[in-house]
């Protein structure tokens, strides 16, 4: 067997192995990552409230069901309900309760390349999620401000560029990650290279037809 054929077989095996590793890796989609971060913040908020018996809580609704704010409040309500608390959307009459008002200050997803792709390897990208939530806890009907604080959560992992779009949901804008902008030099060079390649292809085709 010629050396070129042996090299071709080796490269083919490496490519198949790389494909197998990529297919065997399953990443959480962006929505699942954000919901997990919302859940972590919700658990912290829940533990800050007095734990004397069953609590009555009020969390105002958000109209946009496809927004990150709505999912944050739904995840927080779920955390309280799991502990036996009662959650309302409006204040009960003459009943001591807590009014929990979360405000989503930041919810960002970004991608950053950490390894460029090559002949037999895939490019690697760093996915980073940042969530910042401000929560106001008000004791009613006294109106006493029990606590007001800001909570941060950061998540990061590394994944292949192929399939990143499958982790996003176009119907939920907050799950769409932000890609880095190409440098000014790349913006100038790339069109020049494309133009040169097209010109070279046209010239080669013309040269073949005139022979």
pLDDT of 99 over the 60 cut: yes
Percent of the chain with pLDDT over 90: 36
CB proximity list for 157: less than 8 A, separation 6 or greater: 27, 126, 127
Q: Are 54 and 80 in contact (CB under 8 A)?
A: no
| Digit-coded pLDDT (tens) for 153-178 | 999 999 887 778 889 999 999 999 99
Per-chain mean pLDDT for the chain: 77
Please state which CATH class domain 3-180 belongs to: alpha beta
In this structure, the number of other CB atoms found within 10 A of the CB of residue 15 comes to: 13
- Read off the pTM: 0.70
Compare 48 and 10 and report the one with higher pLDDT.
48
Q: How many Å apart are CA 97 and CA 106, to the nearest integer?
A: 28
pLDDT of 189 over the 70 cut: no
Q: Per-residue pLDDT averaged across 127-133, rounded? A: 96
| Digit-coded pLDDT (tens) for 100-113 | 999 999 999 999 99
Compare 52 and 110 and report the one with higher pLDDT.
110
pLDDT value at residue 210: 61
CB proximity list for 125: less than 8 A, separation 6 or greater: 111, 112, 113, 114, 158, 159, 160, 161, 164
pLDDT value at residue 208: 57
């Amino acid at each position: 067997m010629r050396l070129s054929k042996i090299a071709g077989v080796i490269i083919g095996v490496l490519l198949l192995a790389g494909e197998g590793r990529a297919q065997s890796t399953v990443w959480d989609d962006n929505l699942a990552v954000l919901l997990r971060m919302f859940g972590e913040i919700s658990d912290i908020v829940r533990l800050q409230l007095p734990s004397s018996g069953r609590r009555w809580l009020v969390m105002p609704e958000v109209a946009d069901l496809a927004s990150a704010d709505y999912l944050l409040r739904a995840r927080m309500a779920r955390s309280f309900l799991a502990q036996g608390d009662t959650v309302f959307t409006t204040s009960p009459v003459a009943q001591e309760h807590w009014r929990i008002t979360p405000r989503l200050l930041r919810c960002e997803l970004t991608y950053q390349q950490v390894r460029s792709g090559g002949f037999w390897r895939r490019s690697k990208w760093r996915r980073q999620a940042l969530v910042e939530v401000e929560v106001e806890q008000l004791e009613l009907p006294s109106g006493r401000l029990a606590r007001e604080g800001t909570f941060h959560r950061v998540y990061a992992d590394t994944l292949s560029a192929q399939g990143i779009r499958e982790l996003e949901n176009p119907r939920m804008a907050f799950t769409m990650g932000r890609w880095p902008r190409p440098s000014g030099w790349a913006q100038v060079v790339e069109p020049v290279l494309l133009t040169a390649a097209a010109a070279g292809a046209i010239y080669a085709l013309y040269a073949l037809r005139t022979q």
